[in-house]
Amino acid sequence: MTTQINILIVDDHPIAADGLISYLETADDIVVRNTCTRGEEVNAAITEYQPDVVLLDLELDGSQISGLEVAEMIQQ
């Protein structure tokens, strides 16, 4: 039995996020649960999807909070 790894992607560039999704979903045990384009969306996505891993862009253009602030928020 394979353990499934649930991933949340946070990136403001759709092409980058789509590329990550395409690459990650080639693995049988990885599932991309959701993507966020702004830091403000991350708390709700983590609560709803309970990801094992968050792939986070540190420079989120158009977001009121930076990727670094999101990382600090996740850590708490």
pLDDT for 15:
96
Q: Where are the domains of the chain?
A: 8-59
Q: With helix as H, strand as E and coil as C, how does 13-52 read?
A: CHHHHHHHHHHHCCCCCEEEEEEECCHHHHHHHHHHHCCC
| For residue 67, pLDDT beyond 80 | yes
State pLDDT tens for residues 18-65.
999 999 999 999 999 999 999 999 999 999 999 999 999 999 988 899
pLDDT for 76:
84
pLDDT for 62:
86
Q: For residue 43, how many other CB atoms are within 10 A of its CB?
A: 13
| For residue 1, pLDDT beyond 70 | no
Q: What predicted TM-score, i.e. pTM, was given to this entire model?
A: 0.91
